[in-house]
Amino acid sequence: MYNSNAKTKIAIRHLSKRYDVEKKNLLFSKNIEADRIFNGNENGYVLKDVNLEIKEGEFHIFLGASGCGKSTLLNILAGFLAKSDGEVLLDGAPITKPGPERGVVFQNADSAIFPWLTVQGNVEYGLKMQGVKKEERRRIAGDAIALVGLAGHEKKHPSELSGGMKQRVQIARSIASDPKILIMDEPFGALDAQTRKILQDELINIWKKTSKTILFVTHDLQEAVYLGERISIFSAAPNANITKEVEVPFDYPRNPNKPDVSEFTREVHEHLERAINANNTNQL
Ligand SMILES: Nc1ncnc2c1ncn2[C@@H]1O[C@H](COP(=O)(O)OP(=O)(O)O)[C@@H](O)[C@H]1O
Ligand SMILES: [Mg+2]
């Protein structure tokens, strides 16, 4: 359960983000940008005045409608993207770039793992970059591969794996570097319902075994209630922020069919609807 006395790990204060459209136009094709600029509101902020504290070891869910700025916030936390205003602190120090204490798992495993490397090679890759010796790499990667249930598949290439297995490779690769924080952006969004459920259960087990802090984005209400200790609910972009935080009062594993869990899910749904409608008047 969520322990309110635990140490604060991440502090987000008055965070705002507005995309620098001029600069981005130099980097991306105009066609792609036109769509994004329209949705992102050229003249305004995507995220506006986001405030949140996340405790060490917490399984934290960011829940919001598509396009509200969830990935933007995660990318700022990962250090891939600069904020426009406010503060984002990790153990009291500003986040300005990626760091080894933060491991990132993307929605699309295909663009995140290397097709020319085996499962073992992919999971060892980060360790190799850090200069970890071969024997040690083998051992750590072996443990991570076992943890995500891929033992026996070490020599396979991504083209020989299912979507769920590729996502496991990505998770194993993150875990192998032993980050304190796992940042996951809709990691199970592209998977079929059954595989998704299996990986959700595995993620809960991994979290329990490793006590990592998990920052997990989803637009799926059921997934949020199944996984999270706390759920941050976003209002809609532009000027999105976190309008509601809820603590999930159930032990793991959770049974979505139990009346108290489904009643709670219904309440979260209402919060989400209210959040989405909160700044409707600002919408494009
Ligand atoms: N590089 C970018 N340049 C301009 N606008 C962007 C860029 N990336 C995202 N946006 C806009 O910011 C908003 C939030 O995007 P995103 O964080 O990807 O939302 P989510 O992950 O919640 O679906 C969207 O309206 C999107 O179009
Ligand atoms: Mg996203």
Kindly state the tokens that stand for 94.
Answer: 């500003």
- CA dist 8 and 14 (Å) reads 17
Q: Is 37 buried (19+), middle (13-18) or exposed (0-12) by CB count in 10 A? A: middle
Tens of each residue's pLDDT in the chain, 284 residues: 344 445 669 999 999 999 876 555 545 544 454 445 445 455 589 999 999 999 999 999 999 999 999 999 999 999 999 999 999 999 999 999 999 999 999 989 999 999 999 999 999 999 999 999 999 999 999 999 999 999 999 999 999 999 999 999 999 999 999 999 999 999 999 888 999 999 999 999 999 999 999 999 999 999 999 999 999 999 998 999 999 999 999 999 999 999 999 999 999 999 999 999 876 554 44
- Among 23, 46, 282, residue to substitute to test ligand 1 (most atoms within 8 Å of Cβ): 46
Does the N-terminal peptide bond of residue 187 adopt cis geometry, omega within 30 degrees of 0?
no
- CA dist 233 and 231 (Å) reads 6
- Among 15, 72, 279, residue to substitute to test ligand 1 (most atoms within 8 Å of Cβ): 72
Tell how far the Cα of 65 is from the centroid of ligand 2, in angstroms: 9
**pTM of the complete model:** 0.89
Quick check: 148 and 166 in contact, CB under 8 A? Answer: no
